[in-house]
């Protein structure tokens, strides 16, 4: 079991959307993070009509979503779903929590 938390902010860092979800069947933290990325993209497509910046503190999730190669991991289906959702947005960026910590995110 895992709990997913999603917070969407605008370019001024103001909260514009929050969501939470309980996932009864979740293998580990990496799977929970990939589920959160997919859910965050899904909500952004439905409710936010501006560029999307997806942040994750899971480097494996960031690498999988940024990769041009097809995922062959056990989470390949989730990665593919998230990538398809991302392609349906006008503009999106994925950034790791580490990149935000060291100040690489520029609006």
The confidence score (pLDDT) of residue 102 equals: 64
Residues near 61 by beta carbon (within 8 Å), at least 6 away in sequence: 30, 33, 34, 37
**pTM recorded for the entire structure:** 0.83
Just give the CATH number of 2-101: 3.30.420.10
Handedness of CA 58, 63, 66, 71 (dihedral sign): negative
Write out residues in the chain with pLDDT < 50, as ranges.
Answer: 107
What are the sequence ranges of the domains in the chain? 2-101
User: Above pLDDT 70, what percent of the chain?
Assistant: 91
The confidence score (pLDDT) of residue 103 equals: 62
Other CB atoms within a 10 A radius of the CB of residue 9 amount to 14
The confidence score (pLDDT) of residue 107 equals: 45
């Amino acid at each position: 079991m895992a709990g997913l938390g999603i917070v969407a902010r605008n370019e001024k860092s103001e909260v514009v959307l929050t969501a939470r979800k309980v996932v009864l069947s979740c293998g580990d933290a990496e799977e929970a993070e990939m589920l959160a990325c997919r859910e965050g993209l899904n909500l952004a497509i439905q409710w936010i009509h501006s560029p999307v910046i997806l942040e994750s503190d899971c480097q494996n999730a960031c690498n999988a979503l940024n990769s041009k190669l097809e995922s062959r991991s056990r989470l390949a289906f989730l990665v593919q779903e998230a990538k398809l959702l991302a392609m349906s947005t006008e503009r999106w960026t994925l950034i790791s929590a580490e990149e935000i910590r060291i100040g690489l995110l520029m609006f």
